[in-house]
Structure 1
Amino acid sequence: MSRSRSPRRAVGWTVVVALVATAVLAGAASAATGDPVPADETADPTAPEPSVSIALAYEFLDARTDQFCDGEGMCLPRSYEGGFFTTPTWDFTPSFVYDDALVIIAYTARGLPDDIRRAKSIGETLLFVQENDPIGDGRVRTHYEPHAIRQGRMEITGPGTFTGNQAWAGLALARLFHATGDQRYLDGALDIANWIQTNTADMVRAPFGYTGGQTDAGDSLVWKSTEHNADIAGFFGQLAQLTGDTVWADRAAVAAAFVTAMQSPDGHVDTGTLLDGSTVNTHPIPLDAQTWTSLATGDPRYDAALDWTLANLIGTDGPYTGPGISDVDTSKVWFEGAAHLALALKLRDAAGDAAYAGTLLDSIRLGQRDAENGDGKGIVATSTDGLDSGFGDLYYASLHTGATAWYLLAEAGDNPFALPAD
Structure 2
Amino acid sequence: MPFNPRRRDVLLGASGTLTAVLTGALLPAPASASASATSWTAGASPSSVGAAFDFLTATFDEYGSGSALRVPRSYTGGFFETPTWTFVSSFAYDDALVIMAWLARGDVRRATILGDTLLYAQEHDPIGDGRTRASYQPDSFTTLNGTLDIGSPAAFTGNQAWVGMAFAHLYARTRQKRFLKGALREAAWIQDKTWDGERAPHGYTGGRTADDQPTTFKATEHNIDVGAFLTMLGTLTGNRVWHARARAAFAFVEAMQDRRGGHLWTGTDPDGTTTNRTPIPEDVQTWALLATGDHRYDRAVTWVLDKLAALDAGVYGVSYSDTDTSKVWLEGTAHTALALKARDGRGDALLSRKLLWNIGRAQATTPHGDGRGVPAASSDGLDTGFGDLYHASLHTGATAWYLLAALSRNPFRL
Give the aligned partner of residue 317 of structure 1: 312
Contact 1:236 1:251 (8 Å CA) reproduced: yes
- Choose 38-47 or 153-162, whichever is displaced more: 38-47
Give the aligned partner of residue 413 of structure 1: 408
Which stretches in structure 1 are left out of the alignment for 5+ residues? 17-21, 30-36
Contact 2:72 2:138 (8 Å CA) reproduced: yes
Which stretches in structure 2 are left out of the alignment for 5+ residues? 38-44
Give the aligned partner of residue 41 of structure 1: 26
Give the aligned partner of residue 173 of structure 1: 167
Contact 1:105 1:175 (8 Å CA) reproduced: yes
Contact 1:227 1:271 (8 Å CA) reproduced: yes
SS of corresponding position for 1:397: coil
Give the aligned partner of residue 64 of structure 1: 59
Question: What is the number of equivalent residue pairs in this alignment?
Answer: 399
2:130 aligned with 1:138 = yes
2:48 aligned with 1:53 = yes
Deviation at 1:28, TM superposition (A): 4.0
Give the aligned partner of residue 23 of structure 1: 15
Contact 1:76 1:146 (8 Å CA) reproduced: yes
Deviation at 1:147, TM superposition (A): 1.5
Pair 100,288 (structure 1): closer, same or farther in 2 beyond 3 Å: same
**What TM-score results when the alignment is normalised by the length of structure 2?**
0.93
SS of corresponding position for 1:223: strand
Give, in whole Å, the separation in 2 of the partners of 1:401 and 1:304: 29
Give the aligned partner of residue 285 of structure 2: 290
Deviation at 1:70, TM superposition (A): 6.8
| Runs of 4+, deviation exceeding 4 Å | none
Give the aligned partner of residue 182 of structure 1: 176
Give the aligned partner of residue 372 of structure 1: 367
Give, in whole Å, the separation in 1 of the partners of 2:152 and 2:128: 16
SS of corresponding position for 1:344: helix
Give, in whole Å, the separation in 1 of the partners of 2:240 and 2:410: 22
Counterpart mapping for 1:171-250 below 5 A? 171-250=165-244
Pair 315,71 (structure 1): closer, same or farther in 2 beyond 3 Å: closer
Contact 2:69 2:116 (8 Å CA) reproduced: yes
Give, in whole Å, the separation in 2 of the partners of 1:397 and 1:109: 26
Q: CA RMSD in A?
A: 1.6
Deviation at 1:356, TM superposition (A): 1.2
SS of corresponding position for 1:409: helix
Contact 1:43 1:363 (8 Å CA) reproduced: no
CA offset digits 1:340-375 (Å, max 9, x no partner)? 110000111100111211121111101111012111
Deviation at 1:79, TM superposition (A): 0.4
Decide which of 108, 116, 123 is 2:115's aligned counterpart: 123
Contact 1:70 1:150 (8 Å CA) reproduced: no
Give the aligned partner of residue 156 of structure 2: 162
2:325 aligned with 1:330 = yes
Contact 1:103 1:402 (8 Å CA) reproduced: yes
Deviation at 1:23, TM superposition (A): 2.7
Identity of paired residues, percent?
Answer: 51
Deviation at 1:268, TM superposition (A): 0.5
Pair 205,65 (structure 1): closer, same or farther in 2 beyond 3 Å: same
Give, in whole Å, the separation in 1 of the partners of 2:6 and 2:233: 21
Deviation at 1:2, TM superposition (A): 4.4
Deviation at 1:4, TM superposition (A): 3.0
Contact 1:226 1:259 (8 Å CA) reproduced: yes
SS of corresponding position for 2:198: coil
Give the aligned partner of residue 32 of structure 1: none
Give, in whole Å, the separation in 2 of the partners of 1:243 and 1:79: 32
Give the aligned partner of residue 9 of structure 2: 8
**Matching residue's letter, 2:129:** D
Pair 99,25 (structure 1): closer, same or farther in 2 beyond 3 Å: same
Pair 27,43 (structure 1): closer, same or farther in 2 beyond 3 Å: farther
Give, in whole Å, the separation in 2 of the partners of 1:336 and 1:150: 29
**Matching residue's letter, 1:194:** A
Counterpart mapping for 1:93-104 below 5 A? 93-104=88-99
**What TM-score results when the alignment is normalised by the length of structure 1?**
0.91
